[in-house]
Amino acid sequence: DAGVIQSPRHEVTEMGQEVTLRCKPISGHDYLFWYRQTMMRGLELLIYFNNNVPIDDSGMPEDRFSAKMPNASFSTLKIQPSEPRDSAVYFCASSLAHQAFFGQGTRLTVV
């Protein structure tokens, strides 16, 4: 298996634009997590899904953030409109039996 695949690896966008981050989890994993990592706040859990259903989105910072998982092999995290303070590395992770495996991350820069 290729592991968790995220795209794009890097994204630079202007303030106010819509940003969509994509994730393909490891086949057979039943949980999918979205995290955001910054120097100041560390690795924050934004939202997680179980069998494609959102379980806890209490970490989503604002209504500007939304996440979907239309099927077991694909998830998106959308930010609309984006702001400079959204600049961070966004990680997707998938898990089976409580052990989470991370993708390579998307480094988002909002200018």
21 close to 33: Cβ distance less than 8 angstroms = no
Q: Draw the binding track, 54-93, toward other proteins (x: CB under 8 A; -: no contact).
A: -xx----------------------------------x-x
Only segment of 9-17, 20-28, 36-44, 61-69 that touches other proteins (CB under 8 A): 36-44
Minimum separation from the CB atom of position 43 to other proteins (A): 4
Minimum separation from the CB atom of position 17 to other proteins (A): 25
Q: Where are the beta strands (DSSP E) in the chain?
A: 5-7, 10-13, 19-24, 31-38, 42-50, 53-56, 65-71, 74-79, 88-96, 99-102, 106-110
Q: Closer CB to other proteins, residue 82 or residue 106?
A: 106
